[in-house]
């Protein structure tokens, strides 16, 4: 539980709904209802037992305060939940009460509810990814030819294009989509094993009940229960953590480009958005901050789930419980970060003239590599490197343009004409495979060229 105050920043209403207590209880009831149906099919519950439970699947009947109070004593939510459910069923159908929860253990209901929530939550995440991707694709295409400084170690280097930078984001996003798909495929699976994973309380009929229970919930049935094997859930969380990491990278790129001195890209500004309580002219990168905050928090959540994998025997002590608040939190952060990134992708403002100016700054030193490479073909990489390095240092110390110095350097001029040097120093001409790389990722660039 946290200060509600900050939740708008770190979650979305849609994800909050999926992981609300009401949603959890409703999915637990669906599990119990499907179980009763399966028991009934196998002759282990009286006719009409499932029908008696069906009206309850919204879980509106639960007395939440007393549930939470009992949960504190019993150590989990399922025990008082089953008690309340049984009482409610009895009201409707005395006989049906006898088969409520039959064969199942608390964790069966809690885990299967979690799996059902995971299915919905992953669908939400993937729908956001699908909303974000085309926005980025559009930006990448639009800025395939928008030349800007490439930056390494936070220092300006030779040019790249904004389109290539964004294409890199897109490629990462697609890999995350693959990972999330595969993780969901593995994780969305029934949990049903009874007290110690043998379904012994159902005698010979355990496997039959398990299969029809899975079918009723439209879940895959695993080979065996996985109460203390949490790798599937951790995989989902780790995939979300990686997604958030990539979003953090995008946000930091944007925030760095939005610095006052750089001014190349900016988040959309809106009324009341990113204002400062003291600095009236400021427009803060609020969306970037929210995403970077998510990227700062997600690793700590993943580490908790990884640490919690060492669960004892048939059901663990304390490590399972450590997942309860941690796992949904990663979904919340991921959804919030995606939503913020969608806002950035949609409203991003780009300032090509600042990009050009920044490339030109420092006397055109960003283009030093181009000359170095051209010279290397004539005089070897090392000598070329040496010559250009010396010229670069002179340009810096004498505050002159690199081109001027190079043109005045006899050993350079012995191999390159003034026009050649000028051409080499034009950033628009020094983009190598950038265009092709963008084309590979987003297509439709070459045509638009």
Provide the minimum distance between the beta carbon of 182 and a copy of itself in the complex, in angstroms, as a whole number: 6
Among 14, 41, 70, 426, binds a copy of itself (CB under 8 A): 70
What is the rounded distance in angstroms from the CA atom of residue 291 to the CA atom of residue 295?
Answer: 6
Q: Residue for token digits 């253990």?
A: 105
Residue 300 touching a copy of itself (CB under 8 A):
yes
Residue 150 touching a copy of itself (CB under 8 A):
yes
Q: 372 with 294: CB under 8 angstroms?
A: no
Residue 29 touching a copy of itself (CB under 8 A):
no
> Among this protein's residues, is 20 annotated catalytic?
no
Of 128 and 315, nearer to a copy of itself (C-beta) is 315
Burial of 223 (0-12, 13-18, 19+ CB in 10 A): exposed
Among 54, 91, 123, 276, binds a copy of itself (CB under 8 A): 276
Residue 168 touching a copy of itself (CB under 8 A):
yes
Distances (CA, A) of 364 to 1, 414, 425: 54, 21, 7
Among 36, 118, 212, 392, binds a copy of itself (CB under 8 A): 392
Among 214, 265, 288, 356, binds a copy of itself (CB under 8 A): 288
- Phi/psi for 283 (5° steps) reads -130, 105
* Window 77 to 116, contacts with a copy of itself (CB under 8 A): 77-79, 82, 86, 97-106
What is the rounded distance in angstroms from the CA atom of residue 201 to the CA atom of residue 329?
Answer: 35
Instruction: Write out the two tokens for 237.
Output: 């969380």
Residue 449 touching a copy of itself (CB under 8 A):
no
Q: Residue for token digits 């179980």?
A: 35
What is the rounded distance in angstroms from the CA atom of residue 91 to the CA atom of residue 257?
Answer: 64
Of 125 and 365, nearer to a copy of itself (C-beta) is 365
Among 118, 139, 191, 358, binds a copy of itself (CB under 8 A): 358
End-to-end CA distance of the chain: 52
Provide the minimum distance between the beta carbon of 55 and a copy of itself in the complex, in angstroms, as a whole number: 20
Residue 141 touching a copy of itself (CB under 8 A):
no
What is the rounded distance in angstroms from the CA atom of residue 100 to the CA atom of residue 91?
Answer: 13
Provide the minimum distance between the beta carbon of 116 and a copy of itself in the complex, in angstroms, as a whole number: 14
Element (H, E) at 150: strand 147-152
What does the angle CA 388 – CA 394 – CA 396 come to, to the nearest 5 degrees?
Answer: 105
How many residues sit close enough to a copy of itself to count as binding (CB under 8 A)?
A: 197
Of 126 and 289, nearer to a copy of itself (C-beta) is 289
Q: 52 with 100: CB under 8 angstroms?
A: no
Instruction: Write out the two tokens for 383.
Output: 């000598």
Residue 299 touching a copy of itself (CB under 8 A):
yes
* Window 183 to 202, contacts with a copy of itself (CB under 8 A): 186, 194-202
What is the rounded distance in angstroms from the CA atom of residue 8 to the CA atom of residue 74?
Answer: 32
The interface mask with a copy of itself, positions 395-434, x = CB under 8 A, is xx-----x---------------------------xxxxx
Of 186 and 413, nearer to a copy of itself (C-beta) is 186
> Among this protein's residues, is 315 annotated catalytic?
yes
* Window 244 to 263, contacts with a copy of itself (CB under 8 A): 245-246, 248-249, 251-253, 255-256, 258-262
Distances (CA, A) of 239 to 158, 180, 244: 33, 6, 9
Provide the minimum distance between the beta carbon of 398 and a copy of itself in the complex, in angstroms, as a whole number: 13
**DSSP labels for 324-381?**
HHHHHHHHHHHHHHHHHHHHHHHH-EE-HHHHHHHHHTGGGGGGHHHHHHHHHHHH-H
Provide the minimum distance between the beta carbon of 132 and a copy of itself in the complex, in angstroms, as a whole number: 16
Which span sits near a copy of itself by CB under 8 A: 48-56, 124-132, 175-183, 415-423?
175-183
Provide the minimum distance between the beta carbon of 31 and a copy of itself in the complex, in angstroms, as a whole number: 13
Q: Residue for token digits 């009831």?
A: 29
Among 55, 63, 66, 229, binds a copy of itself (CB under 8 A): 229
Which span sits near a copy of itself by CB under 8 A: 49-57, 125-133, 381-389, 409-417?
381-389
What is the rounded distance in angstroms from the CA atom of residue 23 to the CA atom of residue 2?
Answer: 19
Q: Which residue among 315, 332, 394, 431 is the active-site one?
A: 315
* Window 307 to 346, contacts with a copy of itself (CB under 8 A): 307-319, 321-322, 324-326, 328-329, 332
Residue 17 touching a copy of itself (CB under 8 A):
no
Query: Which residues, other chains included, contact 222 with Cβ-Cβ below 8 Å and sequence gap of 6+?
Result: 189, 190, 191
Residue 223 touching a copy of itself (CB under 8 A):
yes
Catalytic residues: 276, 315
């Amino acid at each position: 539980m946290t200060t509600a105050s900050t939740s708008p920043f770190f979650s979305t209403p849609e994800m909050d709904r999926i992981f609300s207590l009401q949603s959890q209880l409703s999915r637990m009831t669906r599990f119990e209802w499907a179980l009763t149906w399966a028991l009934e099919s196998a002759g282990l519950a009286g006719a009409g037992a499932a029908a008696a439970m069906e009206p309850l699947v919204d879980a509106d009947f639960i007395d939440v305060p007393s549930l939470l109070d009992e949960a504190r004593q019993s150590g989990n939510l399922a025990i008082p939940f089953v008690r309340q459910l049984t009482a409610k069923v009895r009201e409707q159908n005395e006989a049906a009460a006898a088969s409520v929860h039959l064969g199942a253990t608390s964790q069966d209901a809690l885990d299967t509810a979690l799996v059902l929530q995971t299915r919905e939550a992953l669908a939400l995440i993937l729908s956001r990814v699908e909303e974000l991707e085309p926005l980025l694709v559009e930006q990448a295409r639009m800025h395939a030819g928008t030349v800007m400084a490439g930056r390494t170690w936070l220092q300006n280097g030779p040019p790249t294009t904004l389109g290539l930078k964004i294409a890199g984001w897109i490629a990462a996003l697609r890999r995350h989509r693959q990972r999330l798909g595969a993780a969901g495929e593995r994780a969305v699976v029934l949990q049903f094993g009874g007290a110690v994973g043998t379904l012994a309380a159902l005698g010979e009929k355990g496997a039959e009940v398990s299969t029809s229970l899975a079918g009723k919930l439209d879940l895959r049935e695993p080979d065996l229960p996985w109460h203390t094997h949490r790798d599937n859930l951790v995989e989902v969380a780790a995939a979300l953590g990686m997604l958030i990491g990539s979003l953090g990278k995008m946000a930091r790129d944007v925030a760095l480009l939005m610095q006052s001195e750089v001014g190349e890209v900016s988040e959309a500004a809106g009324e009341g958005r990113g204002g400062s309580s003291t600095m009236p002219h400021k427009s803060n990168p609020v969306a970037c901050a929210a995403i970077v905050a998510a990227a700062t928090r997600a690793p700590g959540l993943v580490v908790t789930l990884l640490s919690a994998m060492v669960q004892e025997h048939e059901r663990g002590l304390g490590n399972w419980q450590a997942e309860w608040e941690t796992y949904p939190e990663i979904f919340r952060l991921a959804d919030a970060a995606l939503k913020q990134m969608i806002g950035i992708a949609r409203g991003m403002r780009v300032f090509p003239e600042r990009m050009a100016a920044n490339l030109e700054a420092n006397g055109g030193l960003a283009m030093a590599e181009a000359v170095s490479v051209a010279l290397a073909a004539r005089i070897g990489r090392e000598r070329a490197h040496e010559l250009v390095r010396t010229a670069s240092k002179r340009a810096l110390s004498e505050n002159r343009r690199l081109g001027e110095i190079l043109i005045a350097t006899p050993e350079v001029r012995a191999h390159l004409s003034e026009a050649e040097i000028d051409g080499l120093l034009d950033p628009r001409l020094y983009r190598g495979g950038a265009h092709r790389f963008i084309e590979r990722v987003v297509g439709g660039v070459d045509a638009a060229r």
